[in-house]
Chains A and B, each alone.
Chain A
């Protein structure tokens, strides 16, 4: 299974999520898991990211296969989430949650960010 994801990740190779390779996930359950499995700890509850801990996940798409490959065997600092901890279906739910995150307000609409 994992091998398949890696191959798909290599094939996909683009930043845009190809919908055909993305299993159906439940964003509501994904939201719950995002908290339960501690993703929020480094990436923020809204997936906003932090320079100090983890990159922004909101509006920062990678393909589903690359997503799964990364959480299983992260090449960076992230702790690995093996299938013993996050099942494939849960990974799909988490992915669906990240896809569902709303865009932030336009920066120019926020006066406090113009100071």
Chain B
């Protein structure tokens, strides 16, 4: 192929002398240098004679700069702070350029023990910081490991800059394993769930595609992008004369709702008796939360925060997230902002032998949607959920559209409507207070239980962190923090995995903590046991890179979600559930998570089974975190 010829011209010319001379030392004519291999040969460069023999005179064996140095220049221009990666020879030159040529600063190499961890770290980092970091993955196998986590980020609308190594030119591959790690079309494996990818065939092409990729990733709906860095391109010597230009990254402003549709939405909202605002991934930045507060207060309308991002303060008097169902049932207008599942929001679904559903809104309730998801739907993966019958749909970014919507609403408010809004607001505030009180009452049930209740765990943790500048970077505890804690800053909650690919929680908490570190924020996580066991090596990454994180384990010693599914099947088939634990519990032996964490350099305590021991244990762990260490408290907990 012309493509691969062009790729390799530089390196081939450069290595020609060495290759010919090398062959002369290794072999006498007509006789192979090494006995004919019965198994796969390893690379000839590893032949001991190649290392110990007298080297022939060669043209050149070193070069002061190579293609990957230029790639680092490009990456630096994108202001990418870190690259999370498990090392792999398909990007060995880029790796070396980052740590030597680039000085291991912006980007700094973060050593990960699994590519799934690299990606999930980058995923959470991006949600805290509002911009992507990089991930490097080894050709074929590294990207295969990374795939699930990329899918999570895609479903969660998170930008990420992924670079994957590959060796396209078959004539240049080292015999053996480089073939297994090479592929014709490296990105194809994940093309369904990245927004854009490219395989540049020159360094100039790499620069241009990197700028384009960054711009695409950062335009809502934000998504991961992927570039293939061919090993030939990385390793080709860079001559002084080569004119290479780093492209300027330009940004696209996010899509705003059509002005006519915004005006229509404002009319419906102002006229409504019982409008409800529902937000999922609405706030992309702190401004998003500010706008949502302004809209809710202007309308005195309740907000149901579905928690995909930190959309709305938990203790705002218009936050009625816990009262979603009755409010939706009474609503005459529902405004959905970046909802993952509008259909599921307005329908009740029953998972029995016959699967049934019914609409829970009143007839005639108007549904308004603003989502950038409408601009970007692919066919294969089904994360777009069931088709919702929306009355007024804006294919636009909610955060970017809110200012115009707020203005339009304000213009339409008459004194009459204003007094109706005030009366509505007073009722909603009372309902909010009642919900807070109800949550406190509910939390008291099982307060002294062992295993420890998730409410108690959340309350004990809150007691220790509430006066700190905290950020909940991963949360696996049945929504209790949202009910008991005071969330009012954007970084205090970052939503979930997106694609429900379990194994996200642990690396996401480390990635979120990495983003929080430079601000001196206290990162805390509530860590599920099953989730941690997919790739616990990320604990080592946190310790190695001195990433402070307070992790409290919600250790219900089970893949509990699946226990419940097994029970459903057992009951449905009249076989009882005595054996539902098979394949779903994580017992016999119980895992000692404190030891696991300690072995990787963490401060850790547990298992804690007596609720009275929990507060003091969290306090000690917090002291360690304040010294810059990651710390874990293993809590044996109730299922949910």
A-side residues, CB < 8 A to B, are 36-38, 40-42, 44-53, 56, 58-59, 76-77, 79-82, 84-85, 104-107, 110, 112-115
Q: Is the C-beta of B466 less than 8 angstroms from some C-beta in chain A?
A: yes
Q: Is the C-beta of B344 less than 8 angstroms from some C-beta in chain A?
A: no
Which of B441, B479, B570 is the one whose CB lies under 8 Å from A107? Answer: B441
Interface string of B426-442 (1 = CB under 8 A from A): 00000000000000111
Which of A59, A76, A105, A106 is the one whose CB lies under 8 Å from B448? Answer: A105
- CB closest residue in chain B, given A81: B571
A80 to B572, CA, bound (A): 7
B445 near A41 with CB under 8 A, answer no
A49 near B445 with CB under 8 A, answer yes
A58 to B446, CA, bound (A): 9
Q: Is the C-beta of B521 less than 8 angstroms from some C-beta in chain A?
A: no
A41 near B560 with CB under 8 A, answer yes
- CB closest residue in chain A, given B451: A45
Residues from chain B with Cβ under 8 Å of A82 in the complex:
571, 574
Sort chain B's interface into a size bin.
Answer: 35 or more
Distance in Å from the Cβ of B552 to the closest Cβ of chain A? Answer: 14
Consensus secondary structure, chain A interface: loop
Interface string of B338-375 (1 = CB under 8 A from A): 00000000000011100000000000000000000000
Distance in Å from the Cβ of A92 to the closest Cβ of chain B? Answer: 18
- CB closest residue in chain B, given A73: B352
Which of B446, B479, B567, B574 is the one whose CB lies under 8 Å from A52? Answer: B479
Which of A36, A50, A84 is the one whose CB lies under 8 Å from B454? Answer: A50
Residues from chain B with Cβ under 8 Å of A59 in the complex:
445
A85 near B441 with CB under 8 A, answer no
Which of B459, B568, B639 is the one whose CB lies under 8 Å from A112? Answer: B459
Residues from chain A with Cβ under 8 Å of B448 in the complex:
105
B442 near A56 with CB under 8 A, answer yes
Interface string of B65-77 (1 = CB under 8 A from A): 0000000000000
A48 near B478 with CB under 8 A, answer no
- CB closest residue in chain A, given B581: A38
Contacts A48-B638, A110-B447 given; does A77 touch B351 at CB 8 Å: yes
Can you offer 22 A-B residue contacts whose CB atoms are under 8 A? A37-B576, A38-B564, A38-B577, A38-B580, A40-B639, A45-B446, A46-B453, A47-B446, A48-B453, A49-B445, A56-B445, A59-B445, A79-B571, A80-B571, A82-B571, A104-B446, A105-B448, A106-B444, A112-B459, A112-B460, A112-B463, A113-B444
A76 to B568, CA, bound (A): 13
A44 near B442 with CB under 8 A, answer no
Known: A44-B638, A45-B451, A82-B574. 14 other contacts (CB 8 A): A44-B446, A46-B445, A47-B446, A50-B640, A52-B640, A76-B350, A79-B568, A80-B571, A104-B444, A106-B444, A110-B444, A112-B460, A113-B484, A115-B466
